[in-house]
Structure 1
Amino acid sequence: MGVIYLLLYIFGAVVVWVGSNRLLRDLLDGESLVDALQLGGFGALMIVLAAVLHAVVLRRRGDAGVLDAMEVPGRRWFAVAAVAWLVPTLVAWVQFELFVDPIRMFPVITVAGASALVVGGVSRLLRAHMLRWPLTIAAVALVGLPVGLLSVSLPLAHFNYHLSAVQVWTFDEPHGGLKDVVFEADDATYVGELSPRIGEETGSLLNALANAKTIDVGEEIAAGRMRRLEDGTLVRVGEDGEDIPVERWESFSADMDAALQADRAEAALEDAKRRADWEVEIEARRTGGRLFR
């Protein structure tokens, strides 16, 4: 049963961390919080169940085993735990301010420091309680581990967003020891939008072609719907008496080429504007997010 509640503590802490991470992201994005709260609640339920099983085991044994011999943490414990929790993140932030790339982070120390703070605080608060250790370990799983993991994941995501890679040391289980893992910065490669082959000019010409019909010029002139200019050019007469050019099949190929060229030029201008806006955004991300600029 001891293995069961230990696994529940661990998995519950991971689920609470994932839920907390999603909750923060949904809050920033203005999304619904229901899914994140459900996930975090499920993790919390696992931790509560682990604490209950832990308490049952302690009642059967009558003591907490080696944990009973542990003294209540003192001031030195809190000082060391606070340093372990905060200093690695502060060191990483200093590297970020100095544009170091990649930034080195030490997540194991950060998570251990946050967990140690919770252990010290809760065990000191419940020093006389019979279920001190189940409640303490539950608090570590429910608060310490998620806070420690968030203390790593949030700065890491911030650094990546501002185009800084992050290098961390993790345990290499198959071979033992530590190995470097690099979390690459967000991809800053510009991807242009696919320009439409048919733009406004081409669409207008194709629309005219779709609505084209054979007409009797003499009849149209007699009806006042068309007239011939002094240079012999035929035009249609608009509702307000304005002259509207008449499209002719003989010039369609040249008109189509001109329309396509005009649409390409317009698309190129729009793409150049998008790229300029993108470059401004990327530069703002690359140099932004810092306290001292």
Structure 2
Amino acid sequence: MGIIYLLVYVIGSFMVTLAFSGLLDSVYDGSSMKSGVESLAKGAGVIGVAAVLHVLVSRRRTEAMSSAAPEETVPDATPATETAEAKPGSKYRAIYVSAAVWAAPNIAAWIQFELFRDPIVMIGFPTLVGGYLLTFFVSALVVANWRIPWVGIMVALAFIGSPLAWLGNSVFIKHFNHHLSTVVEPVSRTKKGEYRDPIVSRGSAPDRPVWGGGIPTELMAEVSEAKTLDLEKELETGGVRRTPEGGYVRVLSDGTERRLRSMAELAQALKDASAAEDQRAAEAEAAWERQVRQLKRGGRLFSRAPAD
């Protein structure tokens, strides 16, 4: 039974960590957080089941020990903070050290970010270890007076410790990538003494605007159908009509009319349409470049990039 509840703790911890990761992605993507919240609730439920099994196993074990030695008083469980209570202040010292271990890589990476270093070097292993240690020492202090303190500690490690350990760097990495900074995580050597390839996280810039130099469809249709007409003959047959303004329109078979233009007018219309399209493309490109510059310069608390 003990192996079962430990396995359920691990499964619940995995589900909760994935749920928090999905919620983090939703925050940056601006997408719905509904699925992430549902996954988090399911993971919390699995951890709750593990806690119930843990309590049952602990009570059965305590009852077995009591029946084996009825004349002795057997406590329900050994307080998790017994060692810490022997030395005043040691329990807080462990919390401070664990917090420092967890935060140090993130602080070092943030300093590089403030200094506009690219790529940013981040070592994730201390955060992984520090997250579990910090959760352990804090939860041990909180549940020190519980009858079965290890249940509270295990629940805290599964629900808080794992996300804090595995996602402690992810929050900062996503922030750096959002502002188009590359993050490099060095890894250890192999048994042969060779370095493994580092883990690289790169930010992706917004999609660059693509313009095809398009010309209005109506104008393109007019150009494709353009041909030389005998104006006098068309006026006599009714294929062309003179307007009061002095222009000409062609009467189509369905009764609709289309303005007639000279080749010079068509050429000028094409030139104007192309110039307008080039202007829109230039404005879109400038807006995209401005957005990229703002992303690269933003996100910092203390530093400001120099103006162009």
Give the TM-score, by structure 1 length.
0.75
Mapped contact 2:187–2:199 kept (Cα < 8 A): no
* Correspondence list, 1:46-65, <5 A: 46-62=46-62
In structure 1, the gaps of 5 or more residues are 238-243
1:206 aligns with 2:221: yes
Distance 1:25 1:282 in 2: 20
Distance 1:178 1:14 in 2: 29
Q: Deviations over 1:199-218 (max 9, x none)?
A: 22x52351687799998513
Query: CA RMSD for the aligned pairs?
Result: 4.1
Name the amino acid aligned to 1:89. N
Where 2:116 maps in the other structure, the secondary structure is coil
Distance 1:41 1:236, change over 3 A: same
In structure 1, the partner of 2:283 is 273
Distance 1:8 1:161, change over 3 A: same
Q: Deviations over 1:34-53 (max 9, x none)?
A: 21110111111121222223
Where 1:74 maps in the other structure, the secondary structure is helix
In structure 2, the gaps of 5 or more residues are 66-75, 85-89, 251-257
In structure 1, the partner of 2:22 is 22
Distance 1:145 1:158 in 2: 20
Give the TM-score, by structure 2 length.
0.72
State the shift of 1:11 in Å.
Answer: 3.1
Distance 1:148 1:87 in 2: 13
In structure 2, the partner of 1:240 is none
State the shift of 1:139 in Å.
Answer: 0.8
Range moving further from structure 2, 31-40 or 157-166 = 31-40
In structure 2, the partner of 1:226 is 242
Distance 2:37 2:13 in 1: 14
State the shift of 1:158 in Å.
Answer: 0.7
Q: Deviations over 1:176-206 (max 9, x none)?
A: 9984533332244974414164x22x52351
In structure 2, the partner of 1:102 is 119
Distance 1:130 1:177 in 2: 50
1:40 aligns with 2:40: yes
Mapped contact 1:160–1:166 kept (Cα < 8 A): yes
Mapped contact 1:84–1:113 kept (Cα < 8 A): yes
1:185 aligns with 2:199: no
Q: Deviations over 1:218-242 (max 9, x none)?
A: 3659xx951699xxx86249xxxxx
Distance 1:247 1:101, change over 3 A: closer
Where 2:83 maps in the other structure, the secondary structure is coil
Match of 1:86 among 103, 107, 127: 103
1:9 aligns with 2:3: no
Range moving further from structure 2, 71-80 or 81-90 = 71-80
In structure 2, the partner of 1:118 is 135
Percent of aligned pairs with the same amino acid: 28
Q: Deviations over 1:126-170 (max 9, x none)?
A: 223232112201111101221333431111001112122112245
Where 1:167 maps in the other structure, the secondary structure is strand
Mapped contact 1:228–1:235 kept (Cα < 8 A): no
Distance 1:39 1:78 in 2: 30
In structure 1, the partner of 2:162 is 145
Q: Deviations over 1:10-62 (max 9, x none)?
A: 33223222322333443565543321110111111121222223333333433
Distance 2:146 2:206 in 1: 58
